[in-house]
Structure formats: structure tokens, C-alpha cells
């Protein structure tokens, strides 16, 4: 299956849209069925993955805005493969164990949208595509906390949004500056992560870009002193939101350090 990563991203997206037309009484069975199929698709990746090959596999690439080097570029390695499977598994477990009584249909649809964002983050090799999925993941979780959270859910969701969105904006500045440096050196625009890996930056530049990316990832982990949003988000989120937040969303920050900070800014990371 040559387009398996595209299927993994868009299958829950299409299913979430069709979910609006599913009967309220059937939505749980529908959600479990979709999440099970998505999990099985991710397991297929595990068995088809060639562990002897250390590079990216199941690669898909299609130019979206060629003049700016933006492309639909997907791939997985051993690191992202494991987290993709964990994301689909936790979504399935969350829907099966769902204890929410009110608006369960909206909750299941929101969880499917969140799954789209999580899988997209971990398989994107174009930095703009990665950033879009990174930001998109904020919306479903914000809705889950705000709609089904505890008594202080409004405060928790606003604090969660302000912290994570602020970090993402700083990271976006770093992304755009990195792309400009690549263009000014090579004469071509590119947001391909593999192109950026081959682009060696002097230490003086690395240290500034490192901190730009660091802030976005450190808030998501979260690391001290950027962690104060987490107790409120965990405490006020419904159980399923807290589980996915702890099991997957917080890991996005750690994944960012491994996928971006260490290989792109090795001297500054030390």
C-alpha cells in the first residue's frame, strides 16, 4: 500500500465528517469501528517496516507550492512509527472507555479530528505541514477541555491555549528564518526536513534558532518553568482528554526535540 500514510491521516478525517450524519445511538459503535480500523492500519506499518533500513520509509511526496518549496511530504522511521501506533491505540482505548454522557457524538468526532492531527505531526517531513498539524492539534484538545471539563475548565482551556499558542508562534518565526537562511545560501526555498538536515549552520545562528524551537517544544512537554498550564489542563480535562494529553500530546514536544532540535542544531543543543 504505497499511500498508507495518507490513508492514516485522512481516513479518520473523512470518518469524523461522516460522523455528523451518524445516529446518536450508533455513534459509539461507529467511533470504535473507525478507531479499530485506524489502529490496524498503523499495525500494518509495523509489520511492513524494514527494521534493517535506518532511513525514512513509506515516503510520499507531492509539490504543493513549489516556488516556496512547500510540499506534501510524509515518511516514518523507527521513532515516529512507534508513536503513530501509540496515538492510534490511545484513541481507540479512549473511545472504548469513554464515560462522557453529554454530547457523546461531538466528543467522538472531536477525538477523531484529534487523531488526524496527532498522526499528521508524527509523519510529516515538510516543516510547514508539520506546523499545520501541530497547530491543528490544539483545537480539538481545547474543545475537549472547554466543553467537557471540570468547574474551572474555562480558565484551564484559556491558559492551555495561551501557553501553547505563544510557543508555537515563536517556533513559526524560527521556521521561517531557517527557511530564509536556506534560501539565501542555496538560492532555493525549501521546507523539507531532509534538506534542512544537510544544511550546516554556524554556531552563532544555531543558538538563536535552537531557542526559537526550544520554546515551542518545551511548553508542549512541558518543561520547567513552562509547565504551569499542565496541572489545570489535567485536572479539568475529562478522563479521555487527560489520558490522550499524557500519553501522546505531551510526547509531541519530546518528539520535536529529537526530530528537529538535535539534528538541526547539534552544537547549540549541547
pLDDT digits (tens, 9 = 90+) for 90-111: 999 999 988 777 889 999 999 9
Percent of the chain scoring above 90 in pLDDT: 74
Task: Read off the pLDDT of residues 204-233 as tens digits, 9 standing for 90 and up.
Answer: 999 999 999 999 999 998 888 888 888 888
Percent of the chain scoring above 70 in pLDDT: 100
Identify the band that residue 251 occupies on the pLDDT scale cut at 50, 70 and 90: confident
Question: Per-residue pLDDT averaged across 50-73, rounded?
Answer: 92
Q: What is the mean pLDDT of the chain?
A: 92
Identify the band that residue 147 occupies on the pLDDT scale cut at 50, 70 and 90: confident
Identify the band that residue 5 occupies on the pLDDT scale cut at 50, 70 and 90: very high
Specify the pLDDT at position 239. 83
- CA atoms of 246 and 250, how far apart (whole Å): 6
pLDDT for 1 beyond 70: no
| Residue span of the structural domain in which 31 resides | 4-269
Specify the pLDDT at position 233. 85
Question: Per-residue pLDDT averaged across 4-26, rounded?
Answer: 95
Indicate the pTM of the whole model: 0.94
How many domains in the chain?
1
Specify the pLDDT at position 268. 85
pLDDT for 152 beyond 80: yes
Specify the pLDDT at position 53. 85
Question: Per-residue pLDDT averaged across 68-92, rounded?
Answer: 95
Amino acid at each position: 500500500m504505497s499511500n498508507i500514510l495518507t490513508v492514516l491521516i485522512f481516513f479518520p478525517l473523512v470518518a469524523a465528517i461522516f460522523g455528523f450524519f451518524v445516529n446518536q445511538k450508533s455513534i459509539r459503535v461507529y467511533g470504535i469501528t473507525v478507531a479499530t480500523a485506524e489502529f490496524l492500519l498503523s499495525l500494518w506499518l509495523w509489520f511492513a517496516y524494514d527494521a534493517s533500513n535506518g532511513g525514512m520509509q513509506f515516503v510520499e511526496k507531492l509539490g504543493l507550492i513549489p516556488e516556496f518549496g512547500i510540499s506534501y511530504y510524509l515518511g516514518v522511521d523507527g521513532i515516529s512509527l512507534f508513536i503513530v501506533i501509540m496515538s492510534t491505540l490511545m484513541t481507540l482505548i479512549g473511545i472504548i472507555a469513554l464515560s462522557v454522557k453529554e454530547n457523546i457524538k461531538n466528543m467522538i468526532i472531536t477525538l477523531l479530528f484529534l487523531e488526524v492531527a496527532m498522526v499528521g505531526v508524527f509523519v510529516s517531513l515538510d516543516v510547514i505541514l508539520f506546523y499545520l498539524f501541530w497547530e491543528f492539534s490544539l483545537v480539538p484538545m481545547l474543545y475537549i477541555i472547554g466543553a467537557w471539563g471540570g468547574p474551572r475548565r474555562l480558565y484551564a482551556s484559556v491558559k492551555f491555549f495561551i501557553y501553547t499558542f505563544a510557543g508555537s508562534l515563536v517556533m513559526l518565526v524560527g521556521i521561517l528564518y531557517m527557511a530564509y537562511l536556506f534560501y539565501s545560501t542555496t538560492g532555493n526555498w525549501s521546507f523539507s526536513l531532509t534538506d534542512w538536515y544537510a544544511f550546516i549552520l554556524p554556531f552563532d545562528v544555531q543558538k538563536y534558532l535552537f531557542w526559537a524551537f526550544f520554546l515551542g517544544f518545551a511548553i508542549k512537554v512541558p518543561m520547567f518553568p513552562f509547565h504551569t498550564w499542565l496541572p489545570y489542563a489535567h485536572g479539568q480535562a475529562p478522563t479521555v482528554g487527560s489520558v490522550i494529553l499524557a500519553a501522546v500530546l505531551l510526547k509531541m514536544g519530546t518528539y520535536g526535540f529529537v526530530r528537529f532540535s538535535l539534528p538541526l542544531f547539534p552544537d547549540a543543543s549541547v
